[in-house]
């Protein structure tokens, strides 16, 4: 619209009161001739014309001149609507970082949570032997681990980190006998939990700087910060929960020994033999696992009523270390379970 606008204050004259404007082609030359006036008025007029030119043509360098003994040098032009900064003042920068990240974690369901509903149960605590505290809460086996692996994208603007991604969580428990809170030992059943969860989640984190510019051996700066935030999403549940009743032959089972599958194992009587008596049939179990075919013969069933889609919400906190384009975060998430893991991210783009 404006093409090229040139304000030349050297055409300001003091011997006439006429005003002329001439426009030709793509260039507009504005000539203003005013009557004699104090130097201050000329200065204000020149500055007003320069501001008008900067607003109309921010991409074209405009020169403002003040004549008749006042200063004669170009005035700085600032793009957009920002005001002119004093010479030497630092430019305020707001970092916008876009990056990809991958994270993994160990997921643990606290024993005190399961102990509120079961007298005896198994839990994935990544331990070969059950600790004394977990055993008092009802845990009879703990030799399994659950992992979470995810990939996502995150956008950082100042201290706010927005991210979203896809993750997969393994939810398995050691094969063991589970007993309800108010049930007798004869009601225990061999429970096999074989679940997995695939989730889409989004989250927001706030990053608080702890240290900036720590030196390293390669003379790169190491930034340390602390993150606090949370995630929400939807999870798609797969797999199943399988139960096999122990049967009536549970006289050798005790509450403390329900985790020993070599003693407390599913039982089912066979057909009557030639002598007219039934021979008890026990599933073959060793090393904490029972033969699948034997469990099917003993009447294993799959639990029904499990939801296929579940909501997900957790809190996340932990430190983050950044050096160059790489970042490493140690994260602890708290939801239905507790996740302890790491997250690696690499910066794709940074703008100011």
pLDDT tens string 58-96? 444 334 443 344 444 444 444 444 444 454 444 445 568
Separation CA 184–CA 10 (nearest Å): 104
Domain boundary among 27, 61, 88: 88
pLDDT in tens, 1-58: 444 333 444 444 434 334 444 444 443 333 334 344 444 444 444 445 455 444 444 4
144 and 246 assigned to the same domain: yes
64 and 127 assigned to the same domain: no
170 and 241 assigned to the same domain: yes
Separation CA 173–CA 121 (nearest Å): 9
72 and 118 assigned to the same domain: no
Separation CA 168–CA 267 (nearest Å): 36
Separation CA 352–CA 266 (nearest Å): 66
Query: Do 71 and 131 form a contact (C-beta atoms < 8 A)?
Result: no
164 and 241 assigned to the same domain: yes
84 and 103 assigned to the same domain: no
209 and 290 assigned to the same domain: yes
Q: Residue 41 corresponds to which tokens in the numbers above?
A: 């008025």
Query: Do 194 and 240 form a contact (C-beta atoms < 8 A)?
Result: yes
**Considering its fold, how many domains does the chain have in total?**
2
169 and 235 assigned to the same domain: yes
- Give the residue among 340, 349, 326 at the shortest CA–CA distance from 103: 340
At 320, phi and psi to the nearest 5? -135, 140
- Give the residue among 162, 163, 188, 191 at the shortest CA–CA distance from 175: 191
Domain boundary among 36, 63, 88: 88
Q: Could you tell me the CATH number of the domain that includes residue 242?
A: 2.40.160.20
At 197, phi and psi to the nearest 5? -130, 125
Per-residue pLDDT band for 248 (boundaries 50, 70, 90) equals low
Residue 284: its pLDDT value, please?
85
Separation CA 12–CA 73 (nearest Å): 16
pLDDT in tens, 112-162: 889 889 999 999 999 888 988 999 999 999 989 999 999 999 999 889 999
pTM above 0.85, yes or no: no
Enclosing domain of residue 291:
96-351
Alpha helices for 130-189 (secondary structure H): 132-136
Domain boundary among 88, 111, 131: 88
CB atoms within 10 A of CB 226: 14
172 and 37 assigned to the same domain: no
Separation CA 102–CA 326 (nearest Å): 12
25 and 112 assigned to the same domain: no
196 and 69 assigned to the same domain: no
Segment holding 267, helix H or strand E? strand 267-272
Long-range contacts for 47-52 (Cβ within 8 Å, ≥24 apart)?
Answer: 47/75, 49/7, 49/9, 50/7, 50/75, 52/7
Mean pLDDT of the chain: 75
287 and 339 assigned to the same domain: yes
């Amino acid at each position: 619209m404006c093409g090229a606008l040139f304000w030349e204050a050297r055409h300001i004259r003091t011997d006439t009161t006429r005003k002329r404007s001439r426009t030709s082609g793509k260039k507009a030359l504005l000539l203003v001739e005013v009557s004699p006036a104090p130097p201050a008025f000329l200065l204000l007029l020149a500055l007003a014309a320069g501001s008008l030119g900067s607003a109309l043509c921010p991409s074209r360098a405009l020169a403002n001149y003040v004549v008749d003994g006042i200063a004669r040098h170009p005035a700085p032009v600032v793009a957009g609507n920002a005001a002119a900064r004093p010479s030497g003042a630092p430019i305020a920068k707001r970092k916008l970082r876009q990056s990809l990240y991958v994270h993994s974690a160990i997921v643990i369901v606290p024993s005190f949570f399961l102990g509120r509903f079961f007298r005896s149960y198994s839990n994935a605590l990544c331990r070969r032997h059950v600790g004394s505290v977990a055993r008092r809460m009802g845990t009879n086996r703990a030799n399994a681990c659950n992992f979470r692996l995810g990939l996502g994208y995150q956008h950082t603007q100042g201290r706010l980190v927005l991210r979203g991604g896809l993750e997969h969580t393994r939810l398995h428990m050691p094969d063991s006998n589970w007993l309800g809170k108010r049930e007798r030992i004869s009601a225990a059943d061999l429970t096999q939990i074989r679940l997995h969860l695939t989730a889409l989640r989004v989250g927001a984190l706030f990053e608080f700087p702890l240290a900036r510019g720590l030196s390293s051996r390669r003379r790169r700066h190491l930034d340390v910060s602390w993150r606090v935030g949370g995630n929400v999403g939807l999870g798609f549940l797969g797999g199943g929960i399988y139960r096999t009743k122990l049967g009536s032959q549970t006289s050798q089972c005790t509450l403390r020994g329900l985790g020993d599958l070599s003693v407390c194992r599913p039982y089912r009587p066979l057909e009557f033999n030639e002598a007219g008596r039934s021979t008890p049939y026990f599933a073959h179990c060793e090393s904490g696992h029972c033969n699948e075919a034997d469990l099917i013969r003993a009447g294993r069933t799959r639990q029904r009523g499990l939801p296929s889609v579940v909501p997900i919400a957790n809190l996340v906190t932990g430190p983050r270390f950044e050096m160059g384009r790489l970042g490493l975060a140690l994260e602890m998430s708290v939801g239905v379970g507790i996740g302890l893991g790491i997250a690696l991210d690499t910066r794709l783009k940074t703008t100011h």
